[in-house]
Structures are given as C-alpha cells and as structure tokens.
Amino acid sequence: MRAVTWQGRHKISVETVPDPEIVNPRDAILRVTSTAICGSDLHLYDGHIPGMRAGDVVGHEFMGEVVEVGASSTLKKDQRVVVPFTISCGQCFFCERQQYSACDNSNPSETRDASELMMGHAMGGAFGYAHLTGGYAGGQAEYVRVPYSDVGPVVIPDGMPDDDVLFLSDILPTGWQAAVNADIEPGDTVAVWGCGPVGLFTIQSALLLGAARVIAIDHFPTRLALARKYGAEILDYGEVDVREALDEMTGGIGPDACIDCVGMESHGFTVDNVLDQVKAKFYLATERPHALRQAILACRKGGRLSIPGVYGGFADKFPLGQLMEKGLTVKSGQTHVQRYTGDLLDMIRDGKFDTVSLISHHAPLEDAAEMYRHWHSEQDRYTKIVLRPGLEKGGVQAMQEMERA
C-alpha cells in the first residue's frame, strides 16, 4: 500500500510499504477514506519529538471503512468508523476511570521502557506518533491496523460525510476537553491562545459550555477570522500587548480561565521566545512555552489554566512562583478521546459545531510531502488539510477563498 512516512527532520515521503495484517483478536483493518494532518504532526516534522525512526508511517487523525476484523472485534465489514488517536484497552485501571490516554496496556512492553524513563510512567499508545507512544503505524496511509477495535472506533451513521465527523479522531475532543478542563462557570471570560484547529474547537466548546466571552489570541488573519466567525473576540498579538489588552477587557482582573492551544513551538519575537528559539536550534531545549508563560501571568488570581497544547520535556524560565502565588488550578493532558466521542457525535448531528469551515484544503495522499511543507510554512492559507487516498496525484482542492480578519 502507499503510506506517508517520516524520514527525518523536514523529510516526509510517500512510500510503498507492506499492507497491515490482523495480529490480535481484537484488531480491525480499515481502508482509510480521509486523514488529516495535525498541528502536532508539525512537532514531528520539525524533529522535536524524541523517539521517531526513519520509515515510520505517520498520521493520527483518520477514518475509513472496515475491511477485515479479528475474532473478538465488535466491528463489521463495510462499517464506516472514525478512530480515536489514543489507543486504549478499555480494561485497565486508567481506562476504567475514562482516563483513556493514560491506558496502561496499549504501549507495548518493547517500547514502554524509554517512555517510562523519560516521563516517569509510560505514556499510553497512539497512532503514528513516535515510539515513546508505542511505535504504531499511523493512518496517513491506504490501510491501517486498529488494535482494541471494540473500544475506540466510532461507527458513523449513514449520510454523514467524512468532513463532518473526521475530527472526532482528535481535534474536536481535544478542543472540548480543553474547555471542560477550564471548569467554565457562567459569566466567565475565557482566553484561548492559538487559533489553530484545536483552538478553534476550544472556542466553540467554551461557548457551548457557558462562557460569557471567549477572547482568542493569534497573529494569522485567516485563523483570527475563523475565531471571530465561531463567536470569539480576537486579539492579534502583533498589534497589541496581550496582557494589557486582557486586563483592559476584564476590568483589570484578567480572564477566569486561560487555555494554551499552542504547545511547544510558540511563535513571536518576545525576549523569552527568541532565547527559547536559539536554545531549541542548538538542541539545548525542546520547549518554547512563551504562550504558556503569558497565560499564567495573564490569568486572574484563583483562575484556571488548561493545557491541551503538546509539550515534550523540560521547560526553561517557567513562572512557577506566579502560578503558585496566584493560586491557579492547572489541568492538562492528552485527550481521553473515547470519553467524549459519543456525546460529540450527537452534538455534530444537532448542528452545534461547525466542523467543516476550518478545512482549507483537500489533497491526495500522494501529495502529502508538499502538503506538510505548506502546513509548516503557510499557516495563514493552510488552516486544515485533509488527505484523501482516493484522489489523483496533483488533485489538490482549495476550499473557497478564506476570509481574513
């Protein structure tokens, strides 16, 4: 089959690799119909995630049709399913508590040692995301093996197009959990750093969960325009001092909840971020947490900090005293996707989310290398890319001209 592979920093290629096979009784094999490139795939692309190996098949946002099932799978051939990026057994201590991304069985015994050494405890498994999370092939491919297929995959009712439901695999539940973790109360002002796809779903979720106001922070006009379309007030950090603006908008107390949807590769030319960039260039640090630092300083006393943005290791110049003295509550973590997919599918059907207008491009799987380049370097024009294995090479379809803020 054809598959998108990671070959090194800034090297993505589409290769012919063996087809996946059923290995365990609970497995299923899917023929992938749609698969998206995630913001966190850029962390792999930039070489910031340890534990990648040349030749890894990437991709953790995907859906498709069931073509083969193991003896214990509950899926049936020809069903259309969306697959959570987290691989979860459903039966360990963590899965029983719906902490699915912490699954204690999905990271195999061969790969969990390094993960345990680095994190203290082995991370759960995930598709297409480095060997610290299990070394599973991802879904940017024609076919994919899905372990524990009786627990994760969401069966999609007939008549719902791929674009409506594909993001149940990661970014919609991730945005939802980010807002849930902010413990939003009526009347709250919620500030969201980063208007990438996760930030855009966080904005929609925070409003659905009762926030009075959402203030979104970014510097790309197209992304800010989407944030405004979904109901947020917007701040372009290139134009305003974010902390002063947030204070001004909240009578001087700051936002009640702050959500970092940026993660380890903050943009911007502040002193702390330039220092971080220099250190990251020389591999002296992996984290560039400028947005998180700013969120801590901006948040109101006794407020809440939610961190869905991906970080990989140790951070410098972390405002720990500020966090403590202001009495902030912090919630974080990879998304417990399986916990939310049922409710979110219902909400999509009820029209509560706009899951489609953030997609800027549909592209053939064969054009993945070029799409990664665009996704990395043209973040204003490319707001979300969906790859389709069925499309002819070169058949990139840009959606209608996007509005700019």
Enumerate binding residues for another protein (CB under 8 A): 1, 3, 5, 7, 15, 17-21, 23-26, 53-57, 72, 89-93, 96, 104-113, 125, 131, 134-137, 141, 144-145, 147-148
- Closer Cβ to another protein, 107 or 383, answer by number: 107
| Cα–Cα distances in angstroms (integers) from residue 114 to residues 8, 135, 220, 241, in the given order | 20, 12, 37, 41
Please, which residue, 52 or 337, has the CB nearer to another protein?
52
Q: Is the four-CA dihedral 19, 21, 27, 28 of positive or negative sign?
A: positive
CA 99-103-109 angle, 5° bins: 165
Coil, strand, or helix at residue 202?
helix
Q: How far is the CB of 108 from another protein (least distance, A)?
A: 5
Minimum separation from the CB atom of position 151 to another protein (A): 9
Task: Give whichever of 107 and 355 is closer to another protein, judged by the CB atom.
Answer: 107
- Least gap, CB of 92 to another protein (angstroms): 5
In one letter, which amino acid is 266? S
Q: CB nearer to another protein: give 75 or 217.
A: 75
Region class of 331: left (phi > 0), else alpha (psi between -120 and 50), else beta: beta
CB of 168 to another protein, least distance (A): 22
Shorter beta-carbon distance to another protein: residue 59 or 255: 59
Q: Which is nearer to another protein, 109 or 400 (CB)?
A: 109
Give the CA distances from residue 375 to residues 137, 192, 197, 385, 399, in Å, rounded to whole numbers and listed in that order.
21, 21, 12, 8, 15
Contact 207, 233 (CB under 8 A): no
- Choice between 23 and 278, CB closer to another protein: 23
3-class secondary structure per residue, 30-58 = EEEEEEEECHHHHHHHCCCCCCCCCCEEC
Distance of alpha carbon 279 from the chain centroid: 25
Give the residue with the Cβ less far from another protein, 25 or 390: 25
Q: Which lies closer to another protein via its Cβ, residue 5 or residue 40?
A: 5
Q: How far is the CB of 41 from another protein (least distance, A)?
A: 17
Dihedrals φ, ψ of 102, to 5°? -100, 10
Distance, in Å, from the CA atom of 67 to the CA atom of 226, rounded to the nearest integer, reads 37
Least separation in angstroms between CB 290 and another protein: 35
DSSP letter for each residue of 141-197: BSEEEESSTTTSPEEPPTT--HHHHGGGGTHHHHHHHHHHTTT--TT-EEEEE--SH
User: Least separation, in Å, of the C-beta of 11 and another protein?
Assistant: 12
Q: Closer CB to another protein, residue 116 or residue 380?
A: 116
Q: How many CA atoms are closer than 13 Å to the CA of 19, on its beta-carbon side?
A: 12
CB-count exposure of residue 89 (10 Å: 0-12, 13-18, 19+): buried
The answer to whether 27 and 145 are in contact (CB under 8 A) is yes
Three-state DSSP at 135 gives: coil
Q: How far is the CB of 14 from another protein (least distance, A)?
A: 10
- Closest separation in Å from C-beta 22 to another protein: 9
Residue burial 59-81, b: 16+ Cβ < 10 Å; e: rest: bbbbbbebebbbeebebeeebbb
Contact present, 268 and 220 (Cβ < 8 Å): no
- In angstroms, give the least distance from the CB of 283 to another protein: 23
